[in-house]
Amino acid sequence: MWAIASGIEGNLAAYEAVVADLKKSRQEVENFYLLGDIIGPTAESNRLVKRIQQPRNGEPIPLVCQGWWEEQILILHTLGRTGEPTELIDRYGIDMTKTLWDAIDSTTLKWVQSLEFGFAELDCFLIHGSSVDVSDELTPTTDPIQMLDKLSRMEANQLFCGRSGLAFEYKIESGSLTSQVQTLDTLSAPTPTVLSPRRIVGVGSVGRIEGKASYTLYYPGSNKLEFKTVRYGAKKGFG
């Protein structure tokens, strides 16, 4: 089985709770994906990153990709895909630029730089936001045609994402459309396009809600999903 988590946001206690929960599982975790927002604007993020890099005996080794907070620290250090921290300021105010800058040390920054954009495995794509943008927030209420477009861009049947922090399965069960093309020289017959089932999965959030970590298990053999929620002690996380 795969364990897929996102949105730890520097909350070490929440991450420990998820790892402990995985250890209790009878089935082996083949792949342990962390879909971004590992860090948050707290110094605890540096300790969390060290912990992630050094799994203890018997713990799965996480495969980590960049999230929104990772993108923000890269932008602050002029290493991001866009030049200005506009989104960070709009969302949290100008002071957050200094808070985040001060919180993340150079070792963590280097680690953030080394992270993948996302992962393609089997017929799945795993990413923080979407193929369009790390900020892209796919939710249970996102328009179906937009959801389908995000899937199609990655040529995947299943898209696992974490930006919304919500746990959900958004299954496009069927679809059809008739298309006809006229050019200067030809007029095609109306051609039906029939869609096979596919889905977008929101994997939950480990650290965003204090005391309640959520993540997702995926069983590639049976294609089954399981949403997990772990309650843990009162240590405060960001957000």
Partner 1 sequence: MSCIHGNYEALNAVLSDIDRQKADRIFCLGDLVGYGPHPNAVVEMIRSMDIPTVQGCWDEDIVEGLNACECSYPSILAEKRGKAAHEWTNDQIQPEVREYLAQLPLSLREENLCFVHGSPHNQHEYLMPEINAFTALERVMATGADVLFCGHTHIPYVRTLDAGQLAVKVQQPEGTSTKQFTAPLKQIINAGSVGEPRHGRPNATYVIYDTDDKLTTLREVEYDYQLTCQAIIDKGLPAIFAWRLAQGLEYAERAEDPTHVCER
| Sites of contact with partner 1 (CB under 8 A) | 81, 140, 143-149, 152, 166-185, 190-191, 193, 195, 227, 229
Cα separation, 228 vs 18, whole angstroms: 9
Q: Of 45 and 214, which has the nearer Cβ to partner 1?
A: 214
Q: Of 105 and 219, which has the nearer Cβ to partner 1?
A: 219
The region, left, alpha or beta by phi > 0 then psi within -120 to 50, assigned to residue 165 is left
214 class by beta-carbon count within 10 Å (0-12 exposed, 13-18 middle, 19+ buried): buried
Closest distance of CB 81 from partner 1, Å: 7
Cα separation, 219 vs 157, whole angstroms: 15
Q: Of 20 and 177, which has the nearer Cβ to partner 1?
A: 177
Which CA distances in Å does 112 have to 46, 72, 106, 120?
Answer: 11, 11, 10, 19
Closest distance of CB 148 from partner 1, Å: 6
Cα separation, 14 vs 205, whole angstroms: 10
Which strands, in side-by-side order, build the sheet including 124-126?
119-121, 124-126, 158-161, 198-203
CA Rg, the chain, in Å?
Answer: 20
Q: Of 3 and 52, which has the nearer Cβ to partner 1?
A: 3
Q: Of 43 and 145, which has the nearer Cβ to partner 1?
A: 145
Q: Of 152 and 223, which has the nearer Cβ to partner 1?
A: 152
Q: For the chain, first and last CA: distance in Å?
A: 30
Closest distance of CB 172 from partner 1, Å: 6
Find, among 5, 10, 2, the residue nearest to 239 by Cα.
Answer: 10
Q: Which amino acid is at 10?
A: G
Closest distance of CB 160 from partner 1, Å: 14
Q: Of 53 and 82, which has the nearer Cβ to partner 1?
A: 82
